[in-house]
Amino acid sequence: MVEEACCVPYELVDIGANLTHPSFKDDILAVLRRSKQAGLSKIIVTGTSVKHSEQARELAALHKGYLYFTAGLSKIIVTGTSVKHSEQARELAALHKGYLYFTAGVHPHDAKEFDEHTLDGLRTLQNEPNCVAVGECGLDFNRNFSPPDQQLAVFEEQVKLACELKKPLFIHEREAHNDMVSILSRYKDVLPPAVIHCFTGTAAEAAKYVEMGLYIGLTGFIWKDRSKNGVKYALQTRKIPLERLVLETDAPFMYSKINDKKIADHIKRVITEGARNMHKFASFSRNEPCALAAQCELIAAYMDESALNVATVTTANAKKIYGLC
């Protein structure tokens, strides 16, 4: 099969895509083909449970040797958020070995399901060669689908696992900044590289995470940030410096409405035709990895940087964190 030309002139890494989500079940190959047109050559599949991490692993294995693409968005990480989802992420990664990678962890929403067997399942998944991080794990006190005390205990178990295995952490945090800082600070001397995934907090919170040596993952959420001291302000004031920034779509979630009337015209104008053309395949109902180029250009505009520089530095950051080549 002859590959279609890449639509963007730079390389990117999507550090988090939920490609085991049911919305991708019927057309995953088309989704991956579009991601390659948008410059993606590797993807990390998110595992949110042991089962979903298994599925991510299998998905990555299914695409062994699937595309040899060197330009544009170079890697996609499919995140595991429970044992079940981590298994699914593993399966997806196995389908596309060399292009898809996966993470294995238990999402805070699923903390209530954590038992004595869960950690064993995660440990087994972490031994897989294309499992690149512990997570998605963390704290979500916004929705509290699991009791806060259980979230705290389960998250700390996964922090300990990451420290033991020296594997990066892929962290979910919603309205739990102080508790997050407290837990991570206890392990500061042995903490591996860690990413605050899909950051939606304040500039002050971002600055604290950066001070702790953490990385900040940004999604399409930026288009709807209306706060005076939120993500946009953090970018404009470099509370999130480029050397601590990584990019992710969190597909099929976190769609970026790049033509929203509340985005200033001078910001919207920077998005290139190639990025716009790929962004058209994404929607509120299903975001796709191919939308990351437009997201990168939007972030670059808020930072008053070139998209090429943002892409180059964030790609290098992702490769360093996850040991990708």
Position 1 scores a pLDDT of 36
d(CA 136, CA 175): 16
Q: What are the Cα distances from residue 241, in Å, to 130, 174, 238, 249, 315?
A: 29, 21, 5, 19, 14
Low-confidence residues of the chain: pLDDT under 70: 1-5, 63-75
3-class SS of residue 196: strand
The domain total for the chain is 1
Tell whether 276 is covered by a domain: no
Task: Say whether 27 counts as a known binding-site residue.
Answer: no
Query: Residue 250 annotated as binding?
Result: yes
Q: Is residue 49 part of a domain?
A: yes
* Dist. CA 308–CA 137, nearest whole Å: 31
Domain that holds residue 200: 12-262+283-314
**What local confidence, expressed as pLDDT, does residue 61 receive?**
74
Q: Which amino acid does the sequence have at 124?
A: T
149 is in an annotated binding site: no
Which pLDDT score, from 0 to 100, does residue 4 have? 61
CATH of the domain at 226: 3.20.20.140
3-state secondary structure of 237: coil
Q: How many CB atoms lie within 10 A of CB 313?
A: 17
Q: Is residue 141 part of a domain?
A: yes
Three-class HEC string of 62-106: ECCCCCCCCCCEEEEEEEEEEHHHHHHHHHHHHHCCCCEEEEECC
Q: Specify if 278 maps to a domain.
A: no
Q: Is residue 268 part of a domain?
A: no
Quick check: helix, strand or coil at residue 215? strand
pLDDT at 72: 45
157 domain residue, yes or no: yes
Q: Between 50-61 and 118-126, two packed helices, what is the crossing angle to 10 degrees?
A: 20
177 is in an annotated binding site: no
What's residue 67's pLDDT? 27
Helix (H) or strand (E) holding 305: none
Quickly list DSSP for 28-50: HHHHHHHHHHTT---EEEEEEEH
pTM exceeds 0.85? yes
Assess if residue 114 is contained within a domain. yes
* Domain annotation covers residue 94: yes
Cis peptide before 136 (omega within 30 of 0): yes
